[in-house]
Structure 1
C-alpha cells in the first residue's frame, strides 16, 4: 500500500483510535502523546487538566515522532535533548552533567519535527514541481522535435520543387535551341539543294552542247563551214554554306548554387524555454503549529470527513433501461448517466425518469463521463471510437483510437482534457478537441504501469487515478505521467472497480473482494472503509460525487443507485 506501516495494520478498515480499547476512526492526533484519536476521545482527552495544553491536530497534520536512538555514553537512555552550544544531542543523564551546565538546550523532538517538515517540503517540491516541470519541458522538446522535422521537410520539399522548376526551364530552353538548329539546318540544306539543282541543269546544258559539237565536227557535216563558232556558257557560281558555331558555357557548382535558393542559418538568438516559477505552483508544505491550528479551524468551518458510521443515505431510486449499475456519472443538471454490463447506457433524472438510451459495446468499465457543458463522452470498444453527445442529445463521432480498444474515459474538470484508459495497457490524454497529447505507459524504470485500466478519473491536483482490475491496484500518476503511487490494499485480496475523487482530494474506489468502498487520501494513504454492508452495500461497482458532495453508488446485482452524504 501507499501508506507506511505505522499508519495502518493488516486487515483494519481505518486508522484506529489509540485510546485504550476504542476502535473508532482515529482521524485526530495528539502531538504530545503521539497517538491517534477519534473525535470523542479527543474531546475527553482535552477535558483532563493535564492535557488541556496538548497540541491536537488532524491526523494528516501530525508531527512525526522522534526516532528512538540510544545515548552512546548511557546505552539505557534515549537521546531527547540538543545542546545548542556543543551542537550535540544528549540524553537526560548527559544533560545533568557539569560538562553542559549553563548551556542552552533545544527539544530534539522539535528540531526533528522542523527538519522533517523541511525535508518533506523539499521532497514535495521534487514531486509537485521539479519532476512535473521537467516532464513538461521534455514534452516541449518533443513538440519542438516534431516542429523542426516538419520545417526541415518543408524546406527539402521547396528545394526539390525549385530544382525541378530549374530543370524544367533548362529543358524548355534547350528544346527551343535544338528546334532552332533544326530550322537552321533546314535552311542550309535547302540552299545546298538549290545549288545541286543549278549544277544538274548546267551539266544537262553541257551535254547538249557536246552533242552539237560532235555534230559539227563530223566530216560530212557541211554546217561547220557555214555556222558561227559556238560559245560555251561559264560555270555558274555558288556559295559554300557557313554552318553556325555553338559556344558552350562552362558552368560550375557555384553558378548552379547562385541560380537556386539559399539555406541560411537563423540570425536570431534562440529563446530560453520558459520555466514556471516554483512560486506559481501550489505545493503543500508541512505545517507549523500555528498553521496547523489555523488549517484545522478552517477545515472545521469548511468540509470535514465524517466517520464511516456517520455516512447518511439521502436518496435511492431504480434506473430504468439497465440490469445493474456498473458505472455512474453525474452532470451539472442533476442528471445521472448509468451503464450496465450488457452494453446499455441510459440517462435519468434524480426521480428515476428515463431521458435517453444509448447502445454501445462497453461492459464492466467506466466507459462514459459527463462533461462540464452538460454533454456526455462515451467509448465503443468494438468500433475503437469515442463519441460525444451534446445537451440537445445529438451524437457525433469525437475521435478514433486506431488499433487500440478504449476501456474507460474521463473528462477533466480542470482543463477539459479527455483521459482514456486503453485495453492494451496504457492511458492516453487528448485535448478537448480530440488531439492526442500524451501516452502514459511505463514508469521511470521502464516497467509497465497498467494491465487493464478499466476505470479512470482525475484528482483536484491533476493526478490521474486509474483502477486496474488485472493489476489489482489503484495506479496514480501526476499530470505529467510520472508514477506517484499504487494502492493495493492488504489482507485477502483487492479487485478495484469504480473510482472517483472529491473536492478534498480524497480517492474513493470500489473493491469487489471486500465488497466495500475504500476512502484514500490524496497521497494514497488508507483512511477508512466508507461504505460496507452496514450501509446496505453488497456489490459496489460504480461511484461518483456530484457538485453538492453527494456520493452515488451503483451495484452489480441491482439497477438501484443510492446517494449518500459523507462530507459536510
Structure 2
C-alpha cells in the first residue's frame, strides 16, 4: 500500500496539521475532509456551517481514505457504495437506478474502516503475541539444545570414566591372576625339582651298585660262590604333575555393556511446551514464560523480603560422623552436607540421620558443593583432582587440575559452572562438562588477587566471592574476573572462613578472630555483625543459606549446625 505524505509525516517527531501554513501538532483528524488538524484548526473547522456534520476524531481513530476507483458505467463518478444484495460496487448514479431500488447498502468508506480496524487488530496480534510467543518458544528450544548437548557430553564423560574404572579393575584382577600363575608354577617346579633330586640320588646309588658288581665279578670263583647276591632297590615312583587348565571367561559384548551402564530414553510422556494464552498478553513479550515466571518470583521475593530487626534461632541439628562443622551446605533435596577438619564428609537428612560418609583429604576448607543435577563434587588437593558423587552414590574422577591444588569449590546456581579456588593462587572456572574456561589471578595493575582462597561462592549478579585465609580478606571480582573490592573486617584483625550469599545479594562471612558472622551488602559495605556470642555462636566456621532463606551455621569443635531466620 502506498504511503501518503501525511502518513510519512507521522514518522517525524509529530504529525503536522494539514491546514495551510499551520505547522502545529495534527493530533485530530476530519474523516470527511481526510485531513489532520491541530486543536485550534479543529475548532475553527467545526465553526463553519459547511462542516457542522463533519466527523472530527483523534488521529489514531481516523478512517483511512479510500483509493479512488472510477465506476465502469459512469466513468466520471467514483465508486463509493456497496450493494449488499447484488454484492457489487456502485457509484451514486448507479445507486439511484431502478435495479437497486430498495436494496440495502453500505458505504465503502465505513466497510473499509471496519476492515482496516479488523486487520489492524490481527496485525497487532502478530506483533504483540504470535511473533514474541514463537520467538520465546524458539529461545526455549535453543536452551534445550544447549542443555541436551551438555547432558550428552556429561554422559560421554561418565561413560569414559566408567570405562576407565572398569579397565583399571580388569588390570588389577588380571595382575592378581597372573601373580597366582607364578605361585602355581613355582609350586609345580618345586615338586618336579624334588623328583629330579630323587632320581639323581637313585642314579648315584645304581652307580655304586654297579661298581660293587664289577668288583664281585672280577674275584675268584670261590669268593663269588661264597658271597650273597646283591639286591637292587626298585626304581622310585614319582607322579607326573597335573598342570592347571585355564578356562576362558564366560562373557560377551552384552555382559560388558551391562557392566558399563545403560543409556536409554525414559518411558515418560514428553512435557508440552507452555504457550501463554493470548488473552493474557497486554505488552509485547521479550522472554519465555519460564523466564518471566522466574523473574517475577525473584522480583516479588526481593520486594517482600528485608533484613529482620532481630535474628531468630529456628532449630539445631547434630551431625553424626564429624567432630566439627567447618563447611555446611544444603543440596536440592534439602539434605545437609557437612565436613570437618579431619576430612570426614557426611550427608544427613533433616532429622540428623546419616545417609553417607566419605573419607577425603580435605580439611578446614570449603572443598565440596552440591550441583544443579542433585549430586556433589569435592576436591582432593593432594591428588589435584576434583571428584563427582552422583545421586546413586557413585564416585568418579571429574577434573584434573594439573599442577594446582584445588582447595575450595562452588557450583553456580546461575549457569552450573564450577568455580575452584586454587592454592598459590588463582580462581578457575570450568563449565558443567569440566572444561576450563576462565582463570583469574591478577587485577588490572597485575597485582596478585589471591594467596589462599579456601572458601568460594557466587553472588546473584555473578560476582565471585572468596575468603582468602592468608590475605586476611574477602576478595570479590565480577563474572569477567575484574577486581571489585577487598573486605578486611571492622577491626585490627580479620580472618575470613565460610562465605555465602543470599537472594538479596548480601554477603555473609565468618570471622575466626572476632567469632562473628559479618553481613555485607553487594558492594562490600558492612551492614552488621549478624551473629555473635549473644546468639549462642562461639566459633563460626561454615555458613550457607537455603532456598527458604534459612541461615545454617556450623562451628569449630562441635558437630551442631544451627539454623536462623534473619530475613522477613
Q: TM-score, normalization: structure 1?
A: 0.47
Q: TM-score, normalization: structure 2?
A: 0.47
